[in-house]
Amino acid sequence: MDKNIKKLTDNKFLNLFQIDAVDRNGKNFNYYFASRGDGDTMKYVTKENHPEGIMIYAVLKDDPSKIVLVKQYRYPINDFIYEMPAGLVDAGETGAFCAVREFKEETGMTLSLINNGESPMSRPFYTSVGLTDESVSIYYGYAEGEPSQEWLEATETINTKIVDRKEALRILKEEKVAMKCALLLMQFINSSDDNPFGFLDF
């Protein structure tokens, strides 16, 4: 590992790191960030951007005026928050495969990706780069089936929510919402049923 970075914790999914940083005036200071990576493959070392996670933007196949959200308990805020279905990419799997798998696990529903998941808008984007090196790819598709909690892990408390544009607007105005979810809900509210992914056309 780069000598300038120190691993301060030893956990399975996420760890804290310290960098011996230097400010613009040449003064040394400690900078801390969280990462799911480790060793010489860390983005701090490689400068490469690979997604640790995926997120899914899915509308109902039979009724694209409705979108699939999850309301999930999150330990850092000790409360439930609205999010898009999401998850971590396992070693050896593609982002598209992960999206289909995670969507089934979190919602119980089946996901059909548009363009087989191939989209320039599915490239990884950083989530909160002042705090972590994590990046996430967003996948888009149509959802079918009935919500189920059958495939949830014991550590997950997730309720699937299928909402129309009116309810999406209410959620934005009144509920706790993750930033990535909020931005995509704004796109959903301004989308049309005949072209639900029109905001991806450039």
Structure tokens, 107 = 């919602």
Tell me which residue of 200, 157, 193, 158 sits closest to 67, measured CA to CA: 193
- How far is Cα 35 from Cα 135, in angstroms, rounded to an integer? 10
76 found inside a domain: yes
Same domain for 64 and 141? Answer: yes
User: How many folded domains does the chain comprise?
Assistant: 2
pTM of the model: 0.94
Indicate whether 58 and 103 sit together in one domain.
yes
Residues 168, 118 share a domain: yes
Domain that holds residue 19: 5-46
Q: Which residue has the tokens 């997120």?
A: 55
In the chain, which stretches have pLDDT less than 50?
none
Residue 1 pLDDT? 55
Q: Do residues 32 and 133 touch, judged by C-beta distance below 8 A?
A: no
Report yes or no on 138 lying in a domain: yes
Token pair for 19: 């960098």
Q: Is residue 143 part of a domain?
A: yes
